[in-house]
Structure 1
Amino acid sequence: MIWLLGGLCLSAIVYYCYAIYAAIAFLRHSHPINPEFHPPITILKPLCGLDSHAEDNLISFCKQHYPCFQIVFTVRDRQDPIIEVVEKIIQQFPDVDINLVVSDRVIGANLKVSNLANALPQAKYEILLIADSDIHVTPDYLQRVVQPLQDQSVGVVTCLYRSLAQGWGATLEAISTATDFHAGVLVSNQLSELEFAFGSTIVIRKSVLEEIGNFAAIADYLADDFQLGHLPAKASYKVFLSNYVVEHVLGNSTVTNSLHRQIRWARGIKICRPWGYLGLIFTYGTVSSLLLVVLTQGSILGWINLAIVWTMRLVMGWIVGAIALDDVVTKKYFWLIPIWDLLHFVIWCAGLFGTTIKWRGQQFRLTKEGKLIPLEQDSGFVSSQWSVVSGKDM
């Protein structure tokens, strides 16, 4: 057992070193901006309820320094309070081409994908940009994230994100994203081409979306953003990781709610990338080094090993989170990284077992393919009401 834990510590150190290298490579890579390349873009924004700083987040997409773009906000529930916010934004930005689609038509178990499918008929342009409602961007966002599409072999562009957090639960999630999850993404991006995308930003050609079967092809999957990168990659298109980092606004969350959310994501990742999920055991140096100290009864060698492993983990976390992502939460709560690592190991173990998740108040079972099976049927699965409002109509 001692040799096994020693091997896991060594593998973690190697991983931390490579993640540092990948982060430095990411910092050095910059896609040149061609001021003459600015194809028209349709932004699809699926909405459900009032997120923290919802109005500011949505407005940031209206303030783009870009010659031609359209925004389609899409909502399922006619009583959703976010509609009032969108209508206010439409009035505030009369020169921006904005549409609001309200439809409860459902094409699958993932209601966010149904939202996107309902918005698609209103999309005027070949290039689509999908971004979650809790994302905030700067005015140069569109100009920067569209640049990789100058290469016709690129089918999807996606972005990393740094989180703005309120409350301890959200703070732990932000630390997780910046110093753990994105470290793995940068390693994957350095080792080979990405085969997945993130809901923070997905730029995809409409022709590529049609080739993979449109939104109907992912309507029953939990990890819809993963599939919007994975399916085009399987169709031989490149998934490009932009050097633009968006801001993800996390609402105030309890530790319990954050844990439930993290376990849901863990089970989704396990199904999408089972071998990669199992391979995470080789990256938990914080845990394996601590176990080695316990097993060797506090030996000097055990403590030296722990000091080396934890130092490398903290250095990796700082370079990835604070430097590469410029994440304010990492800079302020850097000391939480070891605490998160121990907690995340528990989440990883929980993710290994069980196939049920709770998402937006509804229980689902995950199939081996990553599809959602509702355990309680919602009446919204059979109703269908539709309306479209544009800025010109108000």
Structure 2
Amino acid sequence: MEILGSTFLTTWTLTVIDFLLLILGLVAVWFYGYAIHAAIAWLKRPTPVEPNFHPPITILKPICGVDSDAYENLASFCQQDYPTYQIIFAVLESTDPGIEVVQKIIHYFPQVDIQLVVSDRTIGTNRKVSNLANAVTKARYDTLLIADSDIRVGTDYLQRVVQPLRDARVGVVTCLYRSLASGWVARLEAVGVATEFHAGVLVSTKLEGIKFALGSTILIRRTVLEKIGGFEAIADYLADDFQLGNLPTQAGYKVVLSDYVVEHVLASTTLVDSLRRQIRWARGTRVCRPWGYLGLIFTHGTVTSLLLLIATGESALGWLFLGITWMARLVMGWVVGVRSLDDPVAKKFLWLIPLWDLIGFAIWCYSFMGNRIEWRGKGWRLTKDGKLVAISHESARRFATSMIANHPNSKI
């Protein structure tokens, strides 16, 4: 009873800062609990497969360079148990090393309808979208599927992801992904994606329905693409995958999160390259969903509980709340990353979650300090609505140098 009274007394003597940290932490614990609920609900609603529903599909594959395990990734799309489909690979430059991999694919899969489009025509600042615009001119079918070149799938992929299109109201289908990563930096990043990013996707889906798409898979009707203005409508945006989901919802169509989980091959990378990629994604998300991105402050329970512990002088309340918060975070990570996604990296490295959360919070804070990003060796500025504006080479070099120099781990 005396200990209980002491705890309540400590609670009542909290400062304003302590109280705010406590509120942030409590909301984070609620978020973790709701993410667990959303993940379980997603697992329980698999889409029945109707074997007689198999509209012909054109797969659009934009290629830029050679990804890790490029042949295996691309070949997986050529091994589908699906009656009629076409694959169009597109590159912008005739010297692109990815062409050699595509030619190898064409040679080893003569039974598959495969085309290679090499065209330097650009329709905007996003070169990937220009690739897609060039590819779609050769599309034979009215159901289009876009998947990044670092994605790998099973033989039942097409038959599974197409099922939601039985509903005429559905305009877009997208997928979550599990990571195949090598190297400690890539594994740390994969843990964050599996246990934090996908948790946010599942919560958003459960609360309001998904209103965006993920580059891992975007299955879209040609009529829907034409209604939103075609690829020309998104040619200048960084987050083209977000736009291909968001614009159809504005046009009255539904976006469905498939029960199929694809594999994402995440190559070994350096800490600096990983940070650049994370900052690019963070700033891209911030301009696409500014209020939702700002609201992520309520999901950083690992950090806020740690700050509360420090602010209360390592009090009993601080330790108790930190233990509850971190346990809830780890359970959420296990349910989402291990139980739902069956992510191999999350299974082995779940204990890295607190470290990732600290890094993720730092990236979240840093993402508000400007609108510049680096993408494929070039410097860009993001407008308020998410469009890409090129900056000069010298400005990009100075920006990249200052970003690395100012980062606390820049000496690593």
Same fold (TM over 0.5): yes
Structure 1 position 77, deviation (Å): 1.3
Q: CA deviation at 1:166?
A: 1.3
Residue 376 of structure 1: CA displacement?
3.2
How far apart, CA to CA, are the structure 2 residues paired with 1:242 and 1:316?
21
One of 160, 163, 178 as aligned partner of 1:162:
178
**Deviation for aligned residue 1:93:** 0.8
Q: CA deviation at 1:254?
A: 1.1
5+ residue gaps, structure 1, are 378-394
Q: CA RMSD in A?
A: 0.7
**Which amino acid in 1 is paired with 2:124?**
G
Distance 2:392 2:144 in 1: 33
Partner of 2:88: 72
Matches within 5 A, 1:122-161: 122-161=138-177
1:201 aligns with 2:217: yes
| 3-state SS, counterpart of residue 367 of structure 2 | helix
2:106 is the counterpart of 1:85: no
- Corresponding residue of 1:313: 329
Is 1:322 matched up with 2:353?
Answer: no
Give yes or no for contact 1:355–1:367 (8 Å, CA) kept in 2: yes
Count of aligned positions: 377
Correspondence 1:1-394 to 2 at 5 A: 1-376=17-392
Q: 2:77 aligns to what SS in structure 1?
A: helix
8 A Cα contact 1:168 1:254, kept in partner = no
Give the whole-Å Cα distance in 1 for the aligned partners of 2:340 and 2:214. 18
Name the amino acid aligned to 1:74: A
Please give the alpha-carbon distance, in whole angstroms, between the structure 2 residues aligned to 1:352 and 1:95: 50
Structure with the greater relative contact order (CA < 8 A, sep ≥ 6): 1 or 2? 1
Larger Rg: 2
1:281 partner amino acid: I
The one-character-per-residue Cα deviations of 1:352-386 (angstroms, maximum 9, x if unpaired) are: 12101000011110000100001138xxxxxxxxx
Structure 1's consecutive aligned runs of 4 or more residues displaced over 3 angstroms after TM superposition are none
8 A Cα contact 1:169 1:256, kept in partner: no
Residue pair 1:44, 1:128 contacting (<8 A) in 2 also:
yes
CA contact (8 A) 1:60 1:138 kept: yes
% identical equivalent positions: 64
2:268 is paired with a residue whose SS is: coil
Deviation at 1:140, TM superposition (A): 0.1
Per-residue deviation at 1:163?
Answer: 0.8
Instruction: After TM superposition, give the deviation of residue 226 of structure 1 in Å.
Output: 0.1
In structure 2, give the amino acid aligned to 1:70: Q
TM-score if structure 2 supplies the norm length? 0.91
TM-score with structure 1 length normalisation?
0.95
Residue 162 of structure 1 aligns with an amino acid whose one-letter code is R
CA distance in 2, matches of 1:370, 1:158: 21
Contact 1:165 1:250 in 2 (8 A): yes
Q: Deviation per CA, 1:80-127: give whole Å up to 9, x if none.
A: 111111111111111100000001111000000000000011000000
Structure 2: 5+ residue stretches without partners:
1-16, 394-412
